[in-house]
Amino acid sequence: MSKAEFIERVAKKGKMSKAEAKRAVDLVFGEIESGLKSSKKAGRFTIGTLGTFSITKRKARMGRNPRTGESIKIKASKSLRFKPAMNLKKAAGC
């Protein structure tokens, strides 16, 4: 589902205009983003019935260039993870 489709569904379910739904969706996504940046729990943002967003750190490591086969160094990076809540897993049939 695209963001536009999501906004359309929110507008329909919430009986509001698409502009109002877009502002609401952007506000929620913005709060998740700012929550991850300023979280007191080191990059964790939990929404009770949805799940937990977290930032994990990956260590630097050696990899291989698939074309040439030569070894290359992959630098350390951060990655965003999402762990769904039990309610969401059950709703999805997982």
Q: Which domains does the chain have, with CATH numbers?
A: 3-92 (4.10.520.10)
Write the single-letter amino acid at 75.
Answer: K
pLDDT in tens, the chain (94 residues): 899 999 999 999 999 999 999 999 999 999 888 888 775 666 788 888 889 998 889 999 999 999 999 999 999 999 999 999 998 888 888 7
- Of 59, 64, 34, 32, the C-alpha closest to 46 is 32
Number of H helices, E strands in the chain: 3, 5
Confidence at residue 42, expressed as pLDDT on a 0 to 100 scale: 67
Confidence at residue 83, expressed as pLDDT on a 0 to 100 scale: 93
Confidence at residue 94, expressed as pLDDT on a 0 to 100 scale: 77
- Of 83, 80, 78, the C-alpha closest to 57 is 78
Confidence at residue 37, expressed as pLDDT on a 0 to 100 scale: 79
